[in-house]
């Protein structure tokens, strides 16, 4: 059992909300604002048509921004202990906590079919990361014993 329940944490403000419609409407408004006031109504009407090439370009631009924002969100999550997975979690564990993923069962290539190595799960590595600071405690706290037992 982890010492912190990540599901109880509020979502990080670092993660942006994804909304194609919001991005598209912002793009349209910015595009319309580029024109003189007397032409803006005409441009606004033109952009109401789905078949208009400029509308298509603005939609494509909004979609690309949405994809880029989703990628940025994914990259940001990979730097947070609560969300990092697989190799990203291993890098975070090593660089921030000095821990490596433990080998549970070594690979066996002498049998057919070969058996792959089994490593500790993301959840267990995440828990060891949280407990690693308790492992520095020389007073023998319960979490320190838990950390050492999980690291054995």
- Rounded to whole angstroms, what are the CA distances from 88 to 78, 94, 96, 108, 115? 6, 10, 12, 26, 25
Please give, one letter per residue, the 3-state secondary structure of the chain.
CCCCCHHHCCCCCCCCCCCHHHHHHHHHHHHHHCCCHHHHHHHHHHHCCCCCHHHHHHHHHHHHHHHHHHHHHHHHHCCCCCCCCHHHHHHHHHHHHCCCCCEEECCECCCCCCECCEECCHHHHHHHHHHCCHHHCCCCCHHHHHHHHHHC
Residue 106: both structure tokens together: 């070594």
**Cβ(97)–Cβ(120) under 8 Å?**
no
pLDDT at 1 (0 to 100): 44
Model pLDDT for residues 47-100, shown as the tens digit of each residue: 999 999 999 999 999 999 999 999 999 999 999 999 999 999 999 999 999 999
**Mean pLDDT, residues 5-26 taken together:** 95
Residue 82: both structure tokens together: 């609560």
State the pLDDT confidence band at 152, using cuts at 50, 70 and 90.
Answer: confident
pTM over 0.75: yes
**Mean pLDDT, residues 103-132 taken together:** 96
pLDDT at 149 (0 to 100): 87
**Mean pLDDT, residues 131-148 taken together:** 84
Please compute Rg for the chain using Cα positions.
25
Mean pLDDT, the chain, integer: 94
Does residue 2 have a pLDDT over 70?
no
**Mean pLDDT, residues 108-124 taken together:** 97
Q: Please state the domain extents for the chain.
A: 20-77, 84-151
């Amino acid at each position: 059992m982890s010492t912190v329940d990540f599901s109880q944490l509020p979502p990080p403000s670092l993660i942006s909300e994804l909304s194609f419609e919001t991005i598209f409407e912002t793009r349209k408004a910015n595009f319309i604002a580029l024109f003189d006031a007397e032409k803006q109504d005409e441009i606004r009407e033109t952009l109401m048509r789905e078949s208009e090439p400029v509308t298509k370009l603005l939609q494509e631009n909004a979609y690309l921004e949405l994809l880029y924002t989703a990628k940025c969100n994914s990259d940001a999550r990979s730097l947070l202990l609560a969300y990092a997975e697989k190799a990203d979690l291993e890098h975070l564990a090593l660089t921030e906590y000095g821990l490596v993923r433990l080998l549970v069962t070594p690979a066996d290539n002498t049998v057919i079919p070969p058996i792959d190595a089994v490593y500790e799960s993301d959840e267990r590595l995440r828990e060891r990361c949280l407990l690693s600071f308790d492992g520095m405690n020389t007073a023998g706290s319960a979490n320190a014993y838990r950390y050492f037992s999980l690291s054995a």
